[in-house]
Amino acid sequence: MNEWSAEPASKATSRTDAARLHDAEPMDFILSSNWVLRTEGVKNFYEVLYKKGENLEIKYDHILHAFRVKCLSHEEVRVVSVVKDTLDKVVQEEAEKGIETSSRITSLADWRKDGLRLDEEVIIPTKYSFPCDVAACRIQDTWDIPEAWFMSGITTTGMLPERALSKLQGLTGAVLITSSNRRTVYVGGSRIDKVADAKRKLSTLARFFSLIPRNIPQVVEIFLYDEGERSTTGEYRYVADGNDKLLRSYILDRFDWPHPVERYPTVFLKSVLVRLNPHREPWKDTQLLSDTVLPVVKESQTEEGFAAFGSNVWKYPTKSIHSGSSLPISDVSTTQLGRSPSAPQHILRPEIESWVSKLPVPNGHGPGSSRQKYSAIVSQTPEKATEHPASSTNDLIDISTPPTTHSQSETNEPDPFKYLWNRYRPLHTAWTPNHEEDRVGELDPKTSLSMETHGPQIAQNDERASRPFHVTVNQKAGSPVDRNTFPPVDPDMVLSISRSLAVLMEPLRMWSGIVDLRIDLGRFYFLNVKASHIQDPGDDDEGKRYKLSRIRTELNNKHKANDKLLFTRVLTNLGAEANYLAHMRDERGKEIWRRPGNERSSTYEFICRSKTLEGVELNFIVSVDAMRFSSGVKQFKPDQNCFAVHCTKHVWDFRLVLSVSQNLDDTCVRFAEELVGSLRVMPQNDGIPELDVSYDKGYDVEILAVRTRNTACCTSEISSIITHPTHSTPHTDVQRLYISEVWEMALRAKSDIEQRTQLKFARYKNNERPGMPLLWYEAVLKSDTFSMAFEQNEKLEFGEEVRWTTEELVKTGAVWELIRTAAFMVKKMDGVGFWNDNHQAELQHRVISSRPAVRQNTPRFW
């Protein structure tokens, strides 16, 4: 019989229980027997062991004449059994030949009794110190996680799950076996360069994990944007306090909430925002939002659509099953496309030179002028802005003084939005003429249709127009004359965001997948704020007015969890207000955005749910290009970190988001290809096509929702001077405003035919879905500086590094400029969403308070 001894799996777990419970505690023990192996015996033992095909960590100690075994606790009994069986087989073979004359083994008793060949050296080939698959390679080596990283918690278990290990082996052509000690990887290969390549990739992956910040919440930090009023006080206010208009204007995407049924009750009952009160005004002076925020479009214009996707300029092509390309339904002029009328072409998308074609041409007032005429063509010579040197900095993220910039305010595209100005400008804003604006290509009044319109004057004769201007939830802002003053951006806020971004981005240099940096425009609301801290209607409690620094500290300490800070990206359901965003002007009266016609797209989004091989739920989106019918797959709701900027003087907020998502496996890609192959697109008279799809049930995928997303991209060029210690470098960035028009589709029919599921989707009609409009608009800001750099990540091979560096990206000042643009847009967006209606009237009634009699008349909404 063989003798063996080992420490138990754990103090609380027996060996039998360890196997039953699949305990994964690493073990390292010595297994002894009553036989001593000589050099040839060791070789024979390993050759017999390797034939079993198991990658075991077993080394023979020729000094102790015992086996050193490494394994996980639940494998202890099995591994010991394998070693004993192998040794028994070797002994049995030698016993048949005669133990006394064997050159391979001797009994432990004889070895001890006679002291035979005590000076005999046992030579064990190096390959026998490796698991069998690595030992079979021509080159063997080991790689270890550096001690400091290993002690910090980085292990091969977390660094190399089964899928990652398999992928790394496929890329390098090397054999990789992870040790049970969770630190070592055994590497084997046919050539030295393959082994070296595998070890280099392992080092890169370890460095990636070493750079990942620990315990970073989804919301990295909350900021209160106060436009420079740092010394002022603020209050917590319930969103529902006396704000009928605001309550109706909240539109909540069901996918942003864990419990869709509770979306609106949660906001109406518990949501809180921060209101500035610099002059400690009593409640009554700033009570009703409907009295203080005016719409950016007149009620008579609320039926107008988004000009970028009007029915006369944007059509969806039809598609039959398995067709890869098709003709669009629209009859786009071949002359307009620069093609011969006699040469038929497959048009994959309507290449229209501008977002609007064949529209009435304005012949009346331009912004702020009495009789200014406009043409569909403006000057193609951009204004030459004056550059100012930026402040110097040696710190990586020290950008307390921003890079000097100028934006491209003139467009070289035909501009279809000139005629929209008078109809979509803010009603409360007076316009100062811009006499420097080019007047190239004015139309002949004889050939233009009369569209002379005067700016809306809804509030001008109202007695409220003479009062100080108030915005957001009963919030006092500056007077209208301040509209052309660019809002001050707190350098400390930008500095803090930039430094945190640098920490978050550094490991992404080794990330193979999708990386995205963007700013979402929307609204924040805080939940679970202590009721004792919230200013009640009519109270005017001095004890509930706090310094903003205290409020911000409290929010960052207690309200960064997903269930305590929520955000809605839905801005409006009006195309007219989307036009207003695209037509926005800067503080000098110049249009911020160019609107190139070729920067539009339509996609059909299939939001799906499946499970990974490990049984983890995976949500992903299959995006189908509505023109070319190509597809892409990306993770839905990927891991993301965001910086929440709550704009205390305005209706809207914004957040800067850094998100990453992995490249999905082949199963998702094959599912997407099958979905596109089965897709039928049937255009309808109401504009949005009906969709038919089918797929094999074997994929085990559930389609949660289908959306048609039309996205128009507006661009603005930003130039800056980056000052280095020894020189200055010019930098040009292109900011992009993506305005998305989203239609969620209703499931009209579902059938199961044999092993396939067939679905039919069509747009919702009228008010089929309480709480969500037929369509809505979202707005996102991005920087080409970051987007182009992150393209390297999409093509990055697993275990490699990108070329961009965090220092280079941050020092461009692109983050600063994005925040400046977002802050400026928020300042001019108060009236956006004014006409929204979430059809939650039953939640918008006044409830008699149950408080003492002195406050029985206080109007409450929760």
pLDDT in tens, 555-564: 999 988 877 8
**Residue pointed to by tokens 């500290």:** 553
d(CA 361, CA 352): 17
The continuous run of DSSP H or E covering 263 comes out as helix 263-270
Report all structural domains of the chain as residue ranges with CATH numbers, in order of start. 1-128 (no CATH), 130-211 (3.30.1370.10), 219-301+473-481+483-531+546-601+641-664+713-737+776-848 (no CATH)
Number of Cβ atoms within 10 Å of the Cβ of 499 = 16
Percentage of the chain beyond pLDDT 90 is: 41
Give residue 693's pLDDT band: very low, low, confident or very high (50, 70, 90): very high
Q: Is the separation of the CB atoms in 296 and 424 below 8 Å?
A: yes
Residue 317 has pLDDT above 90, yes or no: yes
pLDDT in tens, 402-445: 454 444 444 444 443 333 333 333 333 333 333 333 333 332 33
Residue 610 has pLDDT above 80, yes or no: yes
pLDDT of amino acid 726: 65
d(CA 844, CA 268): 8
Partners of 717 in beta bridges: 734
* Lateral strand order in the sheet of 66-72: 26-32, 66-72, 57-61
Give residue 391's pLDDT band: very low, low, confident or very high (50, 70, 90): very low
d(CA 648, CA 669): 44
pLDDT of amino acid 365: 38
| Residue 294 buriedness (CB in 10 A; 0-12 / 13-18 / 19+) | buried
Percentage of the chain beyond pLDDT 70 is: 71
Partners of 635 in beta bridges: 620
Partners of 222 in beta bridges: 644
Q: Are strands 26-32 and 680-682 parallel, antiparallel or unpaired?
A: unpaired
Global confidence as pTM: 0.76
d(CA 858, CA 238): 14
Number of Cβ atoms within 10 Å of the Cβ of 289 = 25
pLDDT of amino acid 600: 95
Buried b (16+ CB within 10 A) or exposed e, 428-460: bbebeebeebeeeeebeeeebeebeeebbeeee
pLDDT in tens, 729-754: 788 999 999 999 999 999 999 999 88
Number of Cβ atoms within 10 Å of the Cβ of 312 = 12
Q: Which of 92-101, 192-201, 540-549 has the highest mean pLDDT?
A: 192-201
**Residue pointed to by tokens 């009209």:** 748
Give residue 766's pLDDT band: very low, low, confident or very high (50, 70, 90): confident
